[in-house]
Amino acid sequence: MAMSSKASRAKAADGDKPVFAYIASLPQPQRAIAERIDALASRTLPDLRRSVKWGMAYYGVDGGWCFCSGAFAGHVKVMFIRGTELTPEPPVTPVAMGRATRGVEPESVDELDEHQLAAWMAQAATMPFVGGRRAR
């Protein structure tokens, strides 16, 4: 699958299988990065929920969505929906993903700071987002 500057054309679907299929469809090095992010989310978030939305893998807990991960040409975006509320605040402000969204864009597995990503994932799980509003 050739990567572009846009998210993939993966069809929207809830559950583990669609996310695993999305990740398996990615070229290297994006696949390896996405696999590590998915494994880290699985270890970090109890009762992890997965979905493919807007050509990206979304991760959440029972209360709502916490972050997404999508492959692009040359990197993978890991974007936290309420990233401006995380400590420390992730450094990347994405285009067209919401004013509060922040994240990172690793270009290789070696660029993943798994300790920091896990801390952000755990924080995000305490404040999930549902349909444009805060989960209760």
Sorted by where each starts, the structural domains of the chain and their CATH numbers stand as: 13-128 (3.90.1150.200)
- Whole-model pTM: value is 0.88
Q: Residue 23: which of 53, 54, 49, 56 has the closest Cα?
A: 56
Measured distance CA(84)–CA(65) in Å, rounded: 15
56 is written with which tokens? 């990206």
Q: What is the pLDDT of residues 28-57, one digit of tens each?
A: 999 999 999 999 999 999 899 999 999 999
Model confidence pLDDT, tens digit, residues 58-117: 999 988 999 999 999 999 999 999 999 999 999 999 887 789 999 999 999 999 999 999
